[in-house]
Amino acid sequence: MNFIEYDKLPESLLELPASALHQVLDGPSLIHVGGHRKQPLVVGVLQHGNEDTGWEAVRRLLNSHYRFDELPRSMLLFIGNVEAARHRVRRLDDQPDFNRCWPGASAVDPAAVRMFRKLMNRIMEYQPWACIDIHNNTGLNPHYAAINRVRPNHLRLAACFSPKVVYFTRPAGTMSAAFSKHVPAVTLECGQVGDVHGTDHAMAFLETLLHLEDLTSLALDPEEVQLFHMRATVTIPPSVDFGFGQAAGDLLLREDLDSLNFQELPARTLFGRVLNGTQRPICAVDVRGRDVTPLYFRVVDGELQTARPLMPSMLTLDRRVIRQDCLCYFMERLRYDAHIEPDSVEPLPDAIPRVTCPGGPGGAV
């Protein structure tokens, strides 16, 4: 596995939708787009092949401006999983998740880890100004931004896109987490694929950043930022047969489950029904890799219920995404105090042993 570097946009690239990029690009690609300010904005798109809002936003932006003049600021554009985009899937079954392979990744494909380390080292040679990684959701979610460090400039970037900001430390190996150690970095979650508003929103955000000289010119009002901390990742073990509102062998989840995203749920909220006395139908792992399922779920008279107040995000009804990744995340509100920098917010204090759930933790960023 390797990436290809281009010193300018390949001919006809901007004419192609994500599913046709393989006609010009042979794989992961780093493309230089010139600008008046030389310190580049790094933009990642299509790390998940079916999430094309980022490419559509960049494509429209460059079609409208780049062909007539240089951009206000240089851009380093990373186009990720071209082959998965060709087939309109998150990733192919024999591929790793590209957004789990950046420096800091846990156990994944060694060749991919080497490539992404080489890619990041190459990008860092250009002393980037900031990093933006653009994604879609498969479930019903508002547009929001995600950060890996609670710092003023990281928050400025995020709040410029949405007042809803999620601080996360897992999953490991994401693009934003890798770059956040060096420059302000943010992941954009732009709603579902095909949502024109998501493309408009991402394009407007990129255009704003390209015209900025200094991030400190972005307003940051802590009272307006709704900051959430990701506490746990929820997966369904591979051995559990599940469905939504239809026949399933082990776990029958409610049909409107993704309508609960970003809702502050009370304890005893119904997630679904456990069938045939199935043991451990669901698994929650905290940011330290500990099995915290009993803190979040309980089964009462066959009903799978929440065990405490919580807020889910990225709940999805897409079975393939759940199998490849996760069902959702659980979050809690976190108040931003400009005088502290809580990069390592402590997990819930309950004494829970470190135990790996069947199938391991996932993630949906």
Using an 8 Å Cβ cutoff, are 148 and 174 in contact?
yes
Q: What is the pLDDT of residue 67?
A: 60
Number of domain units in the chain: 2
**Is 226 a member of any domain?**
no
Residues in the chain: 365
Residue 157's domain comprises: 4-220
DSSP 295: H
Chosen domain end from 220, 246, 269: 220
Return the pLDDT at 237: 94
Instruction: Note whether residue 360 is domain-resident.
Output: no
- Tokens describing residue 237: 């073990």
CB 33 within 8 A of CB 79: no
Whether residue 28 is found in the same domain as residue 154: yes
Please report the pLDDT score of residue 337 as a whole number. Answer: 62
Q: Would you state the pLDDT for residue 180?
A: 97
Q: Do residue 174 and residue 129 come from a single domain?
A: yes
Cβ atoms of 93 and 6 closer than 8 Å: no
Any domain includes 239: yes
Which helix (H) or strand (E) element contains residue 124? helix 110-124
**Within-domain flag for 81:** yes
Nearest to 253 by CA among 300, 191, 319, 192: 319
213 & 268 share domain: no
Buried b (16+ CB within 10 A) or exposed e, 4-32: eebeebeeebbebebbebbebbeebbbbb
239 and 329 assigned to the same domain: yes
Q: Indicate whether 130 and 270 sit together in one domain.
A: no
Domain boundary among 160, 185, 220: 220
Q: What is the pLDDT of residue 247?
A: 67
Are 210 and 282 in the same domain?
no
338 found inside a domain: no
100 and 42 inside one domain: yes
Whether residues 54 and 156 share a domain: the answer is: yes
Question: Do 204 and 257 sit in the same domain of this protein?
Answer: no
Q: Which pLDDT belongs to residue 68?
A: 56
The helix (run of H) or strand (run of E) holding residue 293 is: helix 293-296
- Indicate if 193 and 256 belong to the same structural domain: no
Is residue 205 assigned to a domain? yes
Which tokens hold the place of 212? Answer: 């900025």
What pLDDT is attached to residue 325?
A: 85
Does residue 205 sit in the same domain as residue 297?
no
- The low-confidence residues of the chain, meaning pLDDT below 70, are 66-69, 107, 247-248, 336-365
In Å, what is the CA distance from 81 to each residue of 48, 71, 127, 155?
Answer: 6, 25, 24, 28
Q: What pLDDT shows up at residue 220?
A: 82
Contact in structure between 190 and 206 (CB atoms under 8 Å): no
What does the DSSP assignment read for 155-213? HHHHHHH-SEEEE---SSS-HHHHHHTTS-EEEEEEEETT-HHHHHHHHHHHHHHHH-S
- The answer to whether position 354 is within a domain reads no
62 and 134 co-located in one domain: yes
Does residue 70 sit within a domain?
A: yes
**Whether the model pTM is above 0.85:** no
- Domain containing 58 — which CATH number? 3.40.630.10
Residue 319: what are its φ and ψ, rounded to 5°?
-60, -40
The residue among 220, 250, 268 that closes a domain is 220
Strands 144-147 and 185-192: antiparallel
